[in-house]
Structure 1
Amino acid sequence: MAIYTRTGDAGTTSLFTGQRVSKTHPRVEAYGTLDELNAALSLCACAAADENHRTLLEAIQQQLFWFSAELASDSEQPSPKQRYISSEEISALEAAIDRAMARVEPLHSFILPGRCEAASRLHFARTLARRAERRLVELATEVNVRQVLMRYINRLSDCLYALARAEDSDAHQANIIREVSKRYLAASQPTRSKETTPVALSFHDLHQLTRAAVERAQQLQVPVVVSIVDAHGTETVTWRMPDALAGQQRAGAEKGLDRSGDENGDP
């Protein structure tokens, strides 16, 4: 079956109601931009690391079909066979925004878009949502556009921003965990260097080590547990930052004990 009709070769297209309009008509510009946004969201869904984000993005793609279908009709009478954007979809977007923003640190300045692929794609989709909103505002100067559609597209761009921030934050933390694990594994490998004499650390030394670790953790925005042990594996300092995982405290002490044994030639 051929997908071409040749009816649009002269630069016009048909609305759902049968009316033919120019392909530059504000109505066509509006739902055409939604089509661009929908295609971009498919890339976002493929790149997203968070399964909940993928599920949400796929739901939004379906909603954009409803949105586009409404714009592609010049009839103001609702069709019983058609789905429409409602306040329910807006509430779902707002809930998703709140969940995503609760996971990230507040910002007080502009940020460069995306430190991971998923976030970069989401930021790009956000700009398309903004463009779609501008096209919708332009269309509303000529025809009646339901206010709920204006609210939805405005909230959608906010949602895509929030998802990008969350994906960025998750990727950043995952990179830190990988780097810390890599360094720990490298440091915990047995060495053939001759044994060294344990050096007792003063209170000042312990304080400086703890302070340096906490300051670095604050820069990375990752709460940690600082645990320092002596040559015998006895804890001398333990400091748990707020929001650090409870299991980190035990793991930190165990790692410190392992390192004390390696460095002093203990079995």
Structure 2
Amino acid sequence: MGHRLSKIYTRTGDSGTTGLGDGSRVSKDDLRIEALGDVDELNSSIGVLRSQIAVSTIEDKATWDKSLSLIQHWLFDLGGEVCIPNFNLVQPVAIEYLENEIDRLNEDLPMLKDFILPSGSLACSYAHQARAVCRRAERRLMSVHSRDQNIQAPSLQLLNRLSDWLFVASRALQRAEGGSEILWQKNINETI
């Protein structure tokens, strides 16, 4: 590892700019910094989900923890890529893993015929919240890619597949805690 943080405040960002990993400085509201912030928020959301599963009644916590740990590491890698233009850290194996896990989790779930509301147990709800943050991070990363054309395909695919994984995970977590999805009701106004 190149540099260790021995001093947390540097005062170099006091003028509204921040440094990228390649040494360049950009405005703190630069699209790249916005994307980096969204990826960081997503990683934090995954951490909250991970801590909730640890204290839940869900069986097979070790499998969930392994997946969430991998995801957090991949998101940290993605942050490195966003911070250092033209740098590759995210590997296709991450996308393959998520696809395999989506298939595995989805095997035991009933076919979804209606939209579901992002609600349920705490773990399920945190997965839904992380999914929404993931979609925002994906949109922001696409904006950076549209402007700079230097975000690698596995990085773009990671967030797309992760949002799918979080959706299926929310359903699986809700079932694991003994609940079922809360379905959207098309004509809810008629029940008032």
Q: TM-score range by the shorter chain?
A: 0.7 to 0.9
Quick one: structure 1 residues 77 and 121, their matched pair in 2 at CA, closer, same or farther if it must change by over 3 Å? closer
- Which residue of structure 1 lines up, in the alignment, with residue 108 of structure 2? 103
Shift of 1:159: 0.4
- Which residue of structure 2 lines up, in the alignment, with residue 112 of structure 1? 117
Q: Distance in 2 between matches of 1:134 and 1:53?
A: 26
| Alignment pair present for 1:161 and 2:167 | yes
Structure 2 residue identity aligned to 1:128: V
- Which residue of structure 1 lines up, in the alignment, with residue 90 of structure 2? 85
Structure 1: any 5+ residue segments left out of the alignment? 79-83, 176-267
Q: Which of 82, 100, 115 is the equivalent residue of 1:71?
A: 82
Q: Conserved in 1, the CA contact under 8 Å of 2:20 and 2:26?
A: yes
Q: Conserved in 2, the CA contact under 8 Å of 1:44 and 1:121?
A: yes
- Which residue of structure 1 lines up, in the alignment, with residue 14 of structure 2? 9
Could you tell me the percent identity over the aligned residues? 38
Structure 2: any 5+ residue segments left out of the alignment? 1-5, 181-192
Size of the aligned set, in residue pairs, is 168
Task: Normalising by structure 1, report the TM-score.
Answer: 0.60
Q: Distance in 2 between matches of 1:46 and 1:102?
A: 25
Shift of 1:111: 0.9
| Alignment pair present for 1:122 and 2:127 | yes
Shift of 1:55: 1.4
**Aligned ranges for residues 1-267 of structure 1 at < 5 Å?**
2-48=7-53, 49=58, 50-51=60-61, 52-74=63-85, 76=86, 84-143=89-148, 144-172=150-178
Structure 2 residue identity aligned to 1:72: C
Whose relative contact order is higher, 1 or 2, with alpha carbons under 8 Å and at least 6 apart?
Answer: 2
Task: Normalising by structure 2, report the TM-score.
Answer: 0.83
RMSD (Å), alpha carbons: 1.5
Look at both structures and tell me which one has the larger radius of gyration over its CA atoms: 1
